[in-house]
Amino acid sequence: MIKQLIPRMTEICGPDGVVSDLAELRTYECDGLTSHRVTPALAVLPRTAEQVAAVVRECAAAKVPFVARGSGTGLSGGALPHADGVLIVTSRMRRIIAVDPDSQRAIVEPGVTNLSVSEAARPFGYFYAPDPSSQVVCSVGGNVAENSGGAHCLKYGFTGHHVTGLELVTPAGELTWVGDGTGAGPGYDLLGLLTGSEGTLGIVTKIVVKLTRIPQLVKCLLAAFETTGAGGAAVSAIIGAGILPAAIEMMDALAIEAAEAAVACRYPEGAGAVLIVELDGPETDVLRDCVAVRALCEQAGATEIREADDPAERAAIWVGRRSAFAAVGRISPAYIVQDGVVPRTALGPVLDKIAELSAASGIRVANVFHAGDGNLHPLVLYDDSSAEATAAAETLSGAILDLCIEHGGSITGEHGVGVDKSRYLPKMFGADDLDTMQLARCAFDPVSLCNPGKIFPTPRLCGEVPGARRGPHPLVASGQLDQF
Amino acid sequence: MLADPVLRALTAACPGSRPASPGDAVAGGTPRFAASPASVAEASAVLRAAAEHDLAVVPRGSGSKLGWGVPPRWCDLVVDTLRLDQVLEHAAGDLVARVQAGVSLHRLAEVLGGAGQELALDPAPGLGAPDGVVPTRAGVDGAGVDGARPDGTGGGPGAHLDGGTVGGTLATGAAGPRRLRYGTPRDLVIGITVIRADGTVAHSGGKVVKNVAGYDLGKLFAGSFGTLGLIVEAVFRLHPRPATAAYVTIECADATEAHRAVAAASASVLAPSAIEIDRPARDQPITVGVLLEGEPAGVGERAALMGELLGAGARAQPSQPAWWGWPGSDPAGPAGTLVRVAFWAAALLRVFAVIDGAARSVGLDPAVGGSAAAGVIYVAAGPGAHPAAVAAFVSALRAALARGEADARPAPAAVKGEWSGTGRWAGGGVPPVLASAVVVHAPPAVRDQVDLWGPVPALPLMRAVKDQFDPGHRMAPGRFAGGI
């Protein structure tokens, strides 16, 4: 069936833009979440928005599902291919169209990597604020799909706060601009709806992003504590003092141990937890906040505090944190990363409970997290050669999400629902909530061809909406008015 | 009487239902019924009853912005949120508040101020009650309007908050000068509860700032003017309230000078919270004002540096200049016409040229002011201006915007693509028009002659969203862009 599309797809994307060889297709079988794998029936690598639109039109006409993929670094299986569908890979759409420091905007194609936007803006004194830890490789298009955050979103917000215009290929294959780049145009806030919709409402082909002024001074503090509880108390004290750092990150003993083994980050020896606090802004304010944060950490029982303000020293502090996931990968055959969120004030009890669950099940859990906004990344360590160990790790992982929901939090802070967490979504939202979200889906994609099977556990058919439609306005009916 | 069974049904659903009085008028027309639900359950029941009786429904908070947007085509029932007046939760340690829609911004500021926090929204220009409709009822929301300032800072942020409600602010997307730093309501809402046209209660988001589970309906409802449903509850991200504010102002002889001052302030590392301009009439100087917020020492130092940056004649003051943000007292007055122009910030000079050109061509001399660095300014024509001239002004303004006359021209060095030299990027890649002009409010004689919303990108997608959420087109029908 899908093979019939190959000639037309080749016409659209060129012979080097269509992948139909099974071995080659396998390279796209998963994204950053490797536990889910599906080989797509076909992959295309368009170079232009018009090509994406033409591909989608072909799919829509043939009723073939399609899935967009950026750099494939997602951690929820959002870009998991459809076995009978077309995978639309945006990696060849890598133009930075403009960097406009005078309007604090850049226009990029979806395959452009996150970090390269900041690099292009740096000579003008600006950067692109959302900074997922995969920013060297992850794509801006993927960031839009997932509403990506990062360590610094505590102060600067998420992708959704920085997108002011999108060129979109609708699931019907129409090319349209949503938003005019101002961030203040008329009409529904479709930008807000599209950002974070995990590729289920269309495929973005251009993105207008806000650029942020590079701060005058950046200071980074590393504070060691005996326990995560003490570190958590320091976090509460900092926020309670009205200080808004750019980032507050925490790692527990096991994560520190793994990072030390992997990258020799030389965090204080024997620490039960380390806190990384980054402060940025006007010099006077940063210096004052820095003194305050030091004092608050000391009061919370910090055993050692280091301070860095030049980029190399800061990088030395961050290296342990940035390498944490990979480092844990070296001390365990496999691990599950969770992305649950709890209110910051619930961090202490939730971490205690995770420790209890870990002890009771005998499964090691390393904690690396965005402490400032309560976004946990517990790494559940297990041996994937054992089916029993795998099941136990999944059970523990699910219990951690339950814990987050119990405390009024969320099952995902930045990784997205994708295929991985759709079964947990009904624990956060009722049937009416999910049905209402589906209405938006039906408005964009009534036939459910655009990244089907993601986010929602039980997609409702479109067109089942109750309620009679009122007839058109008499003036519209009589042709005197267009739509009024 | 036809009304009786309907009123009976409404009263059964919500005891606070009644025949509408002249005080319930919407843009001059009196609906048949009014309802004031006291709970989410009552709100749901009353909308279900309205659906059963095919009533057109207009949601209302305090009514302070009821004159914004197009008057609804039909209005059988006004549902006001004023009895939904509970601050349900203020989690100070988490910088989050959960509030019912009818809570006034003033009341919320009082509650949050107790913990040194705030919802970082200040009043939008153009607040008032056009058409002489004074919807405020005794003891509901009048107390705060002219009363003591909530924060006691004598003119700092949060002063002059109007009687508008949380729900109305969210539904209209209203924001004032500090949008530059904190964004608009859509950037601060993290969770929402709405009642759909058929009475279904739906939630999205939650109580944690970082959360990407499910579609973000809060953003979709922000600025939707009641056309998708009734907002009954919202959760907001809060900010620590700055201890001090300084306003640094400079008088500029012309738009070129003003543009230079705005650009210098915007590109500085002094972290301005707002950059505003004010020009009472065409031949008068333009005042540029910069708001700096934070700890006293830092603010003092930054204010001095900002003064140097703006040039000779700059002066700093601790309190708001009288013209700041035009809250409730824009030069148009509630009975005049207020036009919001959104643009790429670099185009400020061109925007002035377009506004002045359009105004001259029709013999108007409107006041211009607003958030220049955020790319949002307002044009105000008083109630005495000839309606035909005002309508012609709006048309001429839009025609110039459509020709790209107010599109930003980035510095050639910054453009990666080709610049055509005619005011547009060559080869696409950019939204077709980089500016818009929306009439926020206007007297009936102007409204009759001009489409208040103007052209809207992606209108077919917006119509599709409306059709899904409100298939009977009964929610504030016709009030929104494109006749939605």
- How do residues A194-224 score in pLDDT, each as one tens digit? 999 999 999 999 999 999 999 999 999 999 9
Asked if pLDDT for residue B156 goes beyond 90, the answer is no
Burial status of residue A115 (CB atoms within 10 A of its CB: 0-12, 13-18, 19 or more): middle
Residue A484: which of B202, B344, B483 has the nearest Cβ?
B483
- Contact assignment for A467 to B198 by CB distance below 8 Å: yes
Residue A285: which of B203, B298, B345 has the nearest Cβ?
B298
Which CATH entry fits the domain spanning B244-317: 3.30.420.10, 3.30.70.3450, 3.40.50.1000, 3.20.20.450?
A: 3.30.70.3450
User: Choosing among B52, B88, B194, B211, which should be mutated to test the A contact, i.e. which has the most A CBs within 10 A?
Assistant: B211
Q: Which residue of B has its CA nearest to A48?
A: B429
Per residue in A141-153, pLDDT tens?
A: 999 999 999 999 9
What does the pLDDT average to over B362-385?
A: 95
User: What DSSP character marks residue B314?
Assistant: -
What does the pLDDT average to over A357-371?
A: 95
Cβ partners under 8 Å of residue A3, min gap 6: A20
- Contact assignment for B216 to A97 by CB distance below 8 Å: no
First to last CA, chain B: 31
Task: Give the CA dihedral B253, B259, B264, B270, nearest 10 degrees.
Answer: 90
What confidence score (pLDDT) does residue B70 get? Answer: 93
- Contact assignment for A408 to B183 by CB distance below 8 Å: no
What does the pLDDT average to over B320-335?
A: 80
Which CATH entry fits the domain spanning B87-138+150-240: 3.90.180.10, 1.20.58.190, 3.40.50.720, 3.30.465.10?
A: 3.30.465.10
Chain A residues in contact with B435 (beta carbon < 8 A): 180, 182
Asked if pLDDT for residue A5 goes beyond 70, the answer is yes
Q: What domains sit in chain A, N to C, each tagged with a CATH number?
A: 2-89 (3.30.43.10), 96-213 (3.30.465.10), 215-328 (3.30.70.2190), 332-416 (3.30.70.2740)
What confidence score (pLDDT) does residue B329 get? Answer: 59
In which band, very low, low, confident or very high, does the pLDDT at A475 lie, cut at 50, 70 and 90?
Answer: very low
What does the pLDDT average to over A102-112?
A: 94
- Contact assignment for B184 to A184 by CB distance below 8 Å: yes
What confidence score (pLDDT) does residue B240 get? Answer: 94
B302 interfacial to chain A (CB closer than 8 Å):
yes
Asked if pLDDT for residue A243 goes beyond 50, the answer is yes
- Tell me which residue has tokens 């002890």: A359
Query: In B71-177, at which residue ranges do the beta strands (DSSP E only) sit?
Result: 77-80, 87-91, 96-100, 117-118
- Contact assignment for B211 to A187 by CB distance below 8 Å: no
Q: Report which of B190, B205, B208 is spatially closest to residue B94, judged by C-alpha positions.
A: B208
Chain A residues in contact with B224 (beta carbon < 8 A): 188-189
What is the Cα–Cα distance from B248 to B233, expressed in whole angstroms?
Answer: 37
Report the predicted TM-score, pTM, of the whole model to 2 decimal places: 0.93
- Contact assignment for A467 to B51 by CB distance below 8 Å: yes
What is the Cα–Cα distance from B414 to A102, expressed in whole angstroms?
Answer: 9
Residues 418-457 of A with CB under 8 A from B: 421, 425, 428-430, 432-437, 439-444, 455
Structure tokens at B212: 């990407």
- Contact assignment for A410 to B429 by CB distance below 8 Å: no
Residue B471: which of A236, A243, A467 has the nearest Cβ?
A467
What confidence score (pLDDT) does residue B334 get? Answer: 79
Amino acid at A76: S
Residue A465: which of B267, B414, B471 has the nearest Cβ?
B471
DSSP-assigned beta bridge partners for residue B246: B292
Strands A86-89 and A42-44, sheet pairing: parallel
Residue A437: which of B197, B214, B374 has the nearest Cβ?
B214
In which band, very low, low, confident or very high, does the pLDDT at A35 lie, cut at 50, 70 and 90?
Answer: confident
Chain A residues in contact with B342 (beta carbon < 8 A): 180, 182-185
What confidence score (pLDDT) does residue B410 get? Answer: 57
What confidence score (pLDDT) does residue A459 get? Answer: 61
Chain A residues in contact with B457 (beta carbon < 8 A): 176-180, 185, 187
Residues 87-126 of B with CB under 8 A from A: 91-96, 116
Q: Report which of B117, B131, B14, B156 is spatially closest to residue B67, judged by C-alpha positions.
A: B131
Residue A418, CB half-sphere, CA atoms under 13 Å: how many?
A: 34
- Contact assignment for B415 to A206 by CB distance below 8 Å: no
- Contact assignment for B94 to A374 by CB distance below 8 Å: yes
What does the pLDDT average to over A358-363?
A: 96
Chain B residues in contact with A104 (beta carbon < 8 A): 266, 345
B208 interfacial to chain A (CB closer than 8 Å):
yes
In chain A, what percentage of residues exceed pLDDT 90?
A: 87
- Please give, rounded to a whole number of angstroms, the shortest distance from the CA of B24 to a CA of chain A: 23
In which band, very low, low, confident or very high, does the pLDDT at B433 lie, cut at 50, 70 and 90?
Answer: confident
- Contact assignment for B204 to A288 by CB distance below 8 Å: no
Q: Which residue of B has its CA nearest to A202?
A: B461
What confidence score (pLDDT) does residue A483 get? Answer: 33
Per residue in A50-66, pLDDT tens?
A: 999 999 999 999 999 99
Asked if pLDDT for residue A481 goes beyond 80, the answer is no
Per residue in B222-245, pLDDT tens?
A: 999 999 999 999 999 999 999 999
What is the Cα–Cα distance from A156 to A210, expressed in whole angstroms?
Answer: 11
User: Choosing among B75, B112, B215, which should be mutated to test the A contact, i.e. which has the most A CBs within 10 A?
Assistant: B215
3-state secondary structure of A130: coil
Check: CB of residue B171 under 8 Å from CB of residue B231: yes
Q: Is the dihedral of CA A335, A337, A338, A343 positive or negative?
A: positive
Sheet containing strand B230-237, strands side by side? B87-91, B96-100, B230-237, B189-195, B201-205
Position with higher pLDDT, B168 vs B28 = B168
Which CATH architecture describes the domain B3-82+466-483?
Answer: 2-Layer Sandwich (3.30)
- Contact assignment for B483 to A470 by CB distance below 8 Å: no
Residue B295: which of A179, A288, A444 has the nearest Cβ?
A288
Per residue in A315-341, pLDDT tens?
A: 999 999 988 888 988 899 999 999 999
What is the Cα–Cα distance from A448 to A442, expressed in whole angstroms?
Answer: 8
For residue A330, the tally of other CB atoms under 10 A from its CB is 12
What does the pLDDT average to over A67-92?
A: 96
Chain A residues in contact with B197 (beta carbon < 8 A): 467
Q: Report which of A169, A161, A192, A170 is spatially closest to residue A179, judged by C-alpha positions.
A: A192
Residue A433: which of B203, B425, B435 has the nearest Cβ?
B203
What is the Cα–Cα distance from A159 to B353, expressed in whole angstroms?
Answer: 34
User: What DSSP character marks residue A469?
Assistant: P
User: Choosing among A209, A439, A456, A464, which should be mutated to test the B contact, i.e. which has the most B CBs within 10 A?
Assistant: A439
What does the pLDDT average to over A257-268?
A: 92
What are the extents of the domains in chain B?
3-82+466-483, 87-138+150-240, 244-317, 337-452
In which band, very low, low, confident or very high, does the pLDDT at A470 lie, cut at 50, 70 and 90?
Answer: very low
Residue B481: which of A186, A345, A440 has the nearest Cβ?
A186
